[in-house]
Chains A and B, each alone.
Chain A
């Protein structure tokens, strides 16, 4: 009975939502059509094209606005959504549901090792605090193909496990063949260990989730056995550039409302974003393996945006996919600059366009098709908008000519189109004539009321409607924040919030045309067969972008904006002023990218400030820990900064004693009481001062090991007995090696020893890192061969290796 009520209620919600979107789109289209009809007696091909392009654009606008409106309704009026998954398990009854075995998986690909492991540390400690550690295991699933990153990951993992005493709880797996990118990485985990766990929580390399949230997610899954995927809405955090901070602000302000709106009508047929979500492993393994698409990349081949397809496959198998908008404690990081954001968009664009194949696949649920369609449309709207503006520019000259013609004050073009009376061969019958007259009366009344010309009135109404759809949800949400002192304090107080809101609006006003140009370009490039490579995302940037990258990236956009503006002005100056807001973003794209890439770090002690978010004002513990972990790691790097020599940095990297010493200092530091911690920090400063002096003295005494700097990963594996052992132990045992491979490895080994690692290609170094026998041999030979038989860089490295640890101050510590 309850299920039937829910079904009926959901149906009613969907009917409401789609009806609202439909009516808005139809009214907008009608107004637009009437506007262009009003200019001429008949529609030209150009105007037809404009109208056709207008419809999907307006649909997209209307659907977004209504999602926001429904979100406001759910959050501020209805307050509790009875059709949400969270309603199935009230918080007070949560502990009645036992937990189940869950794997937290963190797929990584050449990511910033410090950041990844600082995140894992915070997550582990958060889970430990909940007392539910027995139910969770963490897997770091590496696909890194950069030799340095690979070795760094292994060392970081070992340090982490050791310092947290997390033996048998945090695992590390390096895949030999990175087939099928991230989805292949996840699938590999499922094949190897999927049966051991009932659920997996998928992270991105920059994801962080609190132990409480993850425990609740598991319980919600346990309570709802038909739920296949439960997606949390991750909040953007840890941004340290203007660009990132504004995105973070917008995400915190509008995100929860949009999520609530989506959940209102999607319910158990929601979408999946590939991370910060929990997945029921058994059906995922059985039904969600991804086949290749027909054709080659970029349109065919391996599915890039796997998440939406996996959600559709899960739905097809009969499992629900839920979004949990009320679940907090789920975080991710956004791109730091516009350039990085566009690089990410390029990948997403290709992935979403691939879904065009799947729109008409057999057996999908209607909602899955709609989700896929929305994904495709989200990138197609950019070329559509671009085309719309081009067509509008082309038609501007036409309008200029016709606008001087005085329209017939009693003409109603739409009525004329519906009931054509001008054809003498086919006169209207009396009933049609009566309808035509009635319609004319209505329009005449409206016209008299507005006292406008027939062609201008719909245009103003349309403009008003568009502005409402664009800005009403935005202003509405901002107004609701301002109405509550508590809510506005979470955004830094009313004054700071208003200023942030205005700046954020200007930011997105300038950003939208830039995104339009680039997304349109991405779509075209993909259509012409240019795919994207799998690259590591730049997740943070220090000091902002220099001029070179933005000039190269946005030079064309700026020129396009200038040329477009000049043409529009020459064709029809009035139109130029209409299109100016769009051109402004394009023309200013270079300074926009540079300015917004500047650092904007959060200062917790300052009470006022721009772009505050609830996560900054009342920082969750898991994020505070993450920041502390990251600060500890960056201060470790900072020890060597004052010396200002790369050589010192190199030594610091090479010296495991310094690394382990500092790690232990940092981990002990965190568990100490406040007063002890302060005195400890003084001691730490003193020690660090001594460290600096030691490094400085060494930097003066020895020549830098330039050759090894680029290959510090391989150098560590060859030099350090423990890291060599660790790396070899982690490699899979090889039964036998073909003679060709033996010769190949022998050749590389000999060159590396006699000439240094710089002379060997990266792929050869990577191959060598997979061969435990070669690495053990290299380690042995490196230490035992006479100085005359090994490269100069190795001789220096062996002498300098650990030399810092010999200094007396460290012995005392």
Chain B
């Protein structure tokens, strides 16, 4: 929070020509400009995907994330700055989201994911966009909203046994099933049966046209 406050303190105030008059101090000790630019772009995309639409919030977060990433990169210069920066961004977001899951009665399997869904359902990105910028507890307004908007895919199960009871189909289906099964297992027999049906049909047709009962 201190880092963030420092930056905010240095605001000169918005003007028509410059909507974001923020002094940015970022001078990584390792990595190239191109690498850090790629990292910045990716973090920016990632924050937008998280519905952080406010430019001010975006920039504050990006700066904080990149500073942390730069510190880590100085210790392990072989790592890609993009990887480190997005890991930092994700860690920040996940931590705050997991914190939200503490509001649930039952601890979820994946606290960060459950918290993220809760944050979205509570319209967190629009109503409490500053939540990600802070390190303190969940604001009361947001926690109330999350408790109210808890997503439930299904109610608690009340299991019943729905077991099919056999239907006594009588003798005809038994014979039919036996015949069907027999014909199915023996392709030659099947062929003869089809021939016989065809023959009977032709005979029937002949009698129908020519014959008399």
Q: Which of B45, B93, B181 contacts A798 (CB 8 A)?
A: B45
Contacts of B167 in A (CB 8 A): 291, 358, 361
Is the beta-carbon distance between B184 and A296 smaller than 8 angstroms? Answer: yes
In the complex the two chains form, is A361's CB within 8 Å of B170's CB? yes
A44 within 8 A of B: yes
Q: Are A729 and B213 in touch, CB under 8 angstroms?
A: no
The answer to whether A336 has its CB under 8 Å from any CB of chain B is: no
B10 within 8 A of A: no
Partner of A783, one of B42, B162, B210: B42
Task: Give the segment of A73-81, A167-175, A487-495 that binds chain B.
Answer: A167-175
* Alpha-carbon distance between A294 and B182 when the two chains are bound, in angstroms: 13
- Which residues in window 743-793 of A have CB below 8 A to B? 772, 776, 780, 783-787
Q: In the assembled complex, which residues on chain B have CB atoms less than 8 Å from the CB atom of A358? A: 167, 169
Instruction: Please provide the chain B residues from 155 to 169 with a CB less than 8 Å away from any CB of chain A in the complex.
Output: 155-169
Given contacts A172-B153, A289-B165, A729-B110, contact A195 B160 (CB under 8 A): yes
Neighbouring B residues of A798 by C-beta, 8 Å: 42, 45
Q: Is the CB of A295 within 8 A of B116?
A: no
User: Is A194 touching B160 in the complex (CB atoms < 8 A)?
Assistant: yes
Q: Are B49 and A802 in contact (CB under 8 A)?
A: yes
Segment from B20-28, B134-142, B143-151 that makes contact with A: B143-151
B78 is an interface residue with CB less than 8 A from chain A: no
**Proximity bits, B1-25, A CB within 8 Å = 1, else 0:** 0000000000000000000000000
Any chain A CB within 8 A of the CB of B46? yes
Q: Contact: A167 with B151, CB < 8 Å?
A: yes
Are B155 and A361 touching (Cβ within 8 A)?
no
Shortest distance between the CB of B121 and any CB in chain A (Å): 6
- Given A357-B169, A721-B50, A776 and B159 contact (CB-CB distance below 8 Å): no
Is A786 a contact of B211 with CB atoms below 8 Å? Answer: no
Task: From A191, A294, A784, name the one whose CB has the most chain B CB atoms within 10 angstroms.
Answer: A784
Q: Which of A344-369 contact B (CB under 8 A)?
A: 357-358, 360-363
Q: Kindly state whether residue B106 has any CB partner on chain A within 8 Å.
A: no
| B interface bracket (residues with beta carbon within 8 Å of A) | 35 or more
Interface 9-residue window, one of A45-53, A118-126, A665-673: A45-53
Report the interface size class on chain A: 35 or more
Query: B113 an interface residue at 8 Å Cβ cutoff?
Result: yes
**Known contacts A45-B208, A729-B113, A806-B48; A657 and B53 CB within 8 A of each other:** yes
Is B177 touching A300 in the complex (CB atoms < 8 A)? yes
Interchain CA distance A125-B141 in the complex, whole Å: 28
- In the bound complex, what is the Cα–Cα distance between A191 and B176 (angstroms)? 33
Q: In residues 156-208 of chain A, which contact B (Cβ within 8 Å)?
A: 158, 161-162, 165, 167-168, 171-173, 187, 190-196
B188 within 8 A of A: no
> Smallest distance from the beta carbon of A286 to chain B beta carbons, Å?
8
Separation of A195 and B150 alpha carbons in the complex (Å): 24
List residues of chain B with CB within 8 A of the CB of A158. Answer: 117, 120-121, 151
A173 touches B154 (CB 8 A): yes
B209 smallest CB distance to A (angstroms)? 6
Compute how far the CA of A650 lies from the CA of B209 in the bound complex, rounded to whole angstroms: 64
CA distance A158 to B149 in the complex (A): 11
Within the complex, which residue of B48, B90, B121 is in contact with A784, where a contact is CB–CB below 8 Å?
B90
Q: With the chains together, A272 CA to B87 CA distance in Å?
A: 57
Which listed residue, A187, A362, A721, A785, touches B162 by the CB 8 Å rule? Answer: A187
Nearest 7 Cβ contacts at the A-B interface: A195-B158, A294-B177, A725-B116, A784-B86, A291-B164, A289-B164, A725-B113
